Amino acid sequence: MRLELGNGHVQVNPTAGQISDLLHALPGSEPDSFAILIRDEQQFMQCSGTLEEGFLLEYQDGSLDEHFQCVDHELLLASVIWAFQAYLADDHRWRTIFPWRRINVRQRWWKWW
């Protein structure tokens, strides 16, 4: 796995402790306050946000059609760290602990361009 941060930092094969440290170090200002934990090109978990406003959590599970966003858009950093660490450990409890909804990433990207 690989953890990529908005500031360009990349941590290959991060440990649970490194995930915690690096997510705590997110700058809290857009657009650099995000992190992506990548299993492969089509499987990843990502977050963005700030301590003050909360964090948004998403994951993709194999294709753009399998992209999900947590319904709660104001997650605490501790919850996001737990989800990233569970994803790293292949612990699937994060799938049922958080409420998810499928989102149309293709449409979202189209709106950005």
Mean pLDDT value of segment 55-84: 95
Tokens of 62: 């194999």
Between 101 and 108, the higher pLDDT residue:
101
**Local confidence band at 31 (pLDDT 50, 70, 90 cut-offs):** confident
What residue spans define the domains of the chain? Answer: 2-112
Between 59 and 108, the higher pLDDT residue:
59
Tokens of 70: 């947590």
The C-alpha atoms of residue 10 and residue 37 are separated, in whole angstroms, by 10
* Residue 49 CA: distances (Å) to CA of 2, 77, 83, 112: 20, 9, 15, 18
pTM given for the model: 0.90
Mean pLDDT value of segment 8-23: 96
Tokens of 84: 């990233």
Residue 111 has pLDDT above 50, yes or no: no
Contact, 40 vs 91, CB < 8 A?
no
Which amino acid makes up residue 24?
H
For residue 104, the model assigns a pLDDT of: 84
Residue 26 has pLDDT above 90, yes or no: no
Contact, 66 vs 39, CB < 8 A?
no
Please classify residue 103 by burial: count the beta carbons closer than 10 Å to its beta carbon, then call 0-12 exposed, 13-18 middle and 19+ buried.
middle
The C-alpha atoms of residue 106 and residue 54 are separated, in whole angstroms, by 25
